[in-house]
Structure 1
């Protein structure tokens, strides 16, 4: 354990209660330790951390926070135990950078492993895995096997599309990519068409869109690839296997620019007390071993080019990722969010 004052421990405990977080004992400045603040569910990252500890002998301690991670680290200031930040979505990665709680990393091992479009040009964040923002399509009612995002505004799909809230971070990133590719005016006209094609008011989560297709409420749904794998292999809730069986995965724009992808990612905390160990962990997460664990356990795509993809993910079909740098996508997130409100996307289709 690291040598911290009772005052700091009390402060951390109070912040934990305020954040509603589950706090494992964090040890600042001890050899052989790295402290992780994570917005990824513990069961998703624990196999990776166990492998890291087995390989390096460095103990990994995790604080899981669903919300408020940047604010938590900012409040802790120079005394923060945080070494590595793990989170999902380019928006959340941009948020920790904007909060001023990261520091740049210039590391040849990491930079050579991760393609440029999946890392911050200034070195503040790095993608670890990718997931496609794809179309779930009814196997029974949708004959075509190719589609584009632009086609979602085609009147032929009127009343046939389901989606979660347009303000959800996964959809905001997709809409931001549409702005990056087409400009705001054209993207807004597209969004208006998408709204008119909705079968219902946006709601639920990505799995809920597959459930709606299974129930015959719509024919198409927007969702992330890894949710399909989670549904296919959900022994605790076997009805989700039926939802997965009812859909096929269409990779939009495979014929041209490629499918929009988002990332899970990592960043080095600004005041990391165990910086050397933090860098070792970040290097490990880009290794073939760690990438294979991510691919098998989480049904995500490795960022390493040519890395092996799990059999479940291979069953979806081949993905051609959009090469638009995610740093460029992040620039348009605010405009995308404002557009969702301006168009009234979350109000659903006009009656």
Structure 2
């Protein structure tokens, strides 16, 4: 974080502290980007009359919560991945979300068993396959990625990235640690290059012939296909088929963006109203349109792009709390097999 960003964040926090006792306000620490959250918060304020104050940051918000302790002005934590939600629970920074509305709106596998967090949007960790060099049906499961036939043909970002740690955690949950490590080692042997870049960079590598298969989150397909500022990304997207793995078994691995109630929330009632709103039909539709993610609430219509390019698929319904608890072990495995080397 630059010095300027630190200064601006400090100013924002001072403003939070000045309004901390207003009953008709809610203070939010958000890892999610402003363009995603701002329209939702404006709709929330219009519906409830509750003003939403928000700080946006890519990192450091949990550390700030720890530092602030019981004096923290934060009411709600919004994250772009399940990892920070798990970390917030481990650091004892959150309180249970006691809401029948949330429990009714969001399936149990997208909620903490102890009500310590709730998913707001879902995405799948899918396989992007070259249209030119991979036949339909040639790869169908995550387990298939360990097949020696793919030696030198797979690209992915770092194994230590939260998205991949989540996938490895799901392999541990479903297969046990020993088998999951054997799988990860075999996938490592099949890599076309050292793990590098982000998810979009892997699809670019497929387009350029550096590899034939790549791991990536599903919503990046929509981001690439509609990228008018960088039209080359449209061509990357058009070069691949999307594979939602394990459709004949447990289903494709899912992860979430989510929300948690801050442990010392000064506006607890307003905070719960906000979380309830974010699981409402209106908010879930807005989420689906803006970032090409899947609503966590059943029955919400997908965006037109998702309906056109991603047919209905079977999602893994293992509780994500049972997956995320393996993050530390997954990280150790990445080191053990030398995945990023």
Q: TM-score with structure 1 length normalisation?
A: 0.92
Shift of residue 88, structure 1, vs aligned partner:
2.2
Would you say how many aligned residue pairs link Structure 1 and Structure 2?
A: 335
Partners in 1 of 2:127 and 2:311 — Cα distance? Answer: 12
Alignment deviations for residues 168-213 of structure 1 (CA, whole Å, 9 cap, x no partner): 0000000010011111111111111101110000000000001101
The one of 115, 119, 136 equivalent to 2:107 is 115
Partners in 1 of 2:225 and 2:257 — Cα distance? Answer: 21
The one of 89, 92, 101 equivalent to 2:84 is 92
The one of 210, 229, 242 equivalent to 2:235 is 242
1:311 aligns to 2:292 (yes or no)? no
Q: Work out whether residues 148 and 252 of structure 1, in 8 Å CA contact, stay in contact via their aligned partners in 2.
A: yes
The one of 22, 25, 44 equivalent to 1:30 is 22
1:327 corresponds to which residue?
A: 321
Q: Secondary structure at the match of 2:183?
A: helix
1:275 corresponds to which residue?
A: 268
Q: Work out whether residues 80 and 256 of structure 2, in 8 Å CA contact, stay in contact via their aligned partners in 1.
A: yes
Q: Work out whether residues 83 and 275 of structure 1, in 8 Å CA contact, stay in contact via their aligned partners in 2.
A: yes
The one of 184, 190, 198 equivalent to 1:197 is 190
Q: Work out whether residues 249 and 317 of structure 1, in 8 Å CA contact, stay in contact via their aligned partners in 2.
A: no
Q: Work out whether residues 39 and 88 of structure 1, in 8 Å CA contact, stay in contact via their aligned partners in 2.
A: yes
Classify 1:112/1:55 alpha carbon distance in 2 versus 1 (closer, same or farther; 3 Å).
same
1:3 corresponds to which residue?
A: none
Classify 1:138/1:22 alpha carbon distance in 2 versus 1 (closer, same or farther; 3 Å).
farther
The one of 126, 136, 154 equivalent to 1:134 is 126
Q: Work out whether residues 19 and 67 of structure 1, in 8 Å CA contact, stay in contact via their aligned partners in 2.
A: no
Classify 1:15/1:276 alpha carbon distance in 2 versus 1 (closer, same or farther; 3 Å).
farther
1:4 corresponds to which residue?
A: none
Alignment deviations for residues 72-120 of structure 1 (CA, whole Å, 9 cap, x no partner): 0111112211011000222211001111111112210000111111111
2:48 corresponds to which residue?
A: 56
Partners in 1 of 2:270 and 2:287 — Cα distance? Answer: 20
Shift of residue 22, structure 1, vs aligned partner:
7.1
1:340 corresponds to which residue?
A: 334
Q: Work out whether residues 248 and 316 of structure 1, in 8 Å CA contact, stay in contact via their aligned partners in 2.
A: no
1:295 aligns to 2:327 (yes or no)? no
Alignment deviations for residues 31-79 of structure 1 (CA, whole Å, 9 cap, x no partner): 3211110011111111111111111121111111211211101111122
Partners in 1 of 2:4 and 2:90 — Cα distance? Answer: 24
Partners in 2 of 1:160 and 1:58 — Cα distance? Answer: 52
Stretches of structure 1 that go unaligned for 5 or more consecutive residues are 1-12
Q: Secondary structure at the match of 1:121?
A: coil
The one of 157, 179, 189 equivalent to 1:164 is 157
Shift of residue 317, structure 1, vs aligned partner:
2.3
1:154 corresponds to which residue?
A: 147
Partners in 2 of 1:328 and 1:291 — Cα distance? Answer: 24
Q: Secondary structure at the match of 1:223?
A: strand
Partners in 2 of 1:253 and 1:329 — Cα distance? Answer: 17
1:78 aligns to 2:70 (yes or no)? yes
Shift of residue 14, structure 1, vs aligned partner:
11
Q: Work out whether residues 123 and 256 of structure 2, in 8 Å CA contact, stay in contact via their aligned partners in 1.
A: yes
Shift of residue 29, structure 1, vs aligned partner:
1.6
The one of 240, 246, 250 equivalent to 1:253 is 246
Q: Work out whether residues 258 and 321 of structure 1, in 8 Å CA contact, stay in contact via their aligned partners in 2.
A: yes
Q: Work out whether residues 76 and 259 of structure 2, in 8 Å CA contact, stay in contact via their aligned partners in 1.
A: yes
Stretches of structure 2 that go unaligned for 5 or more consecutive residues are none
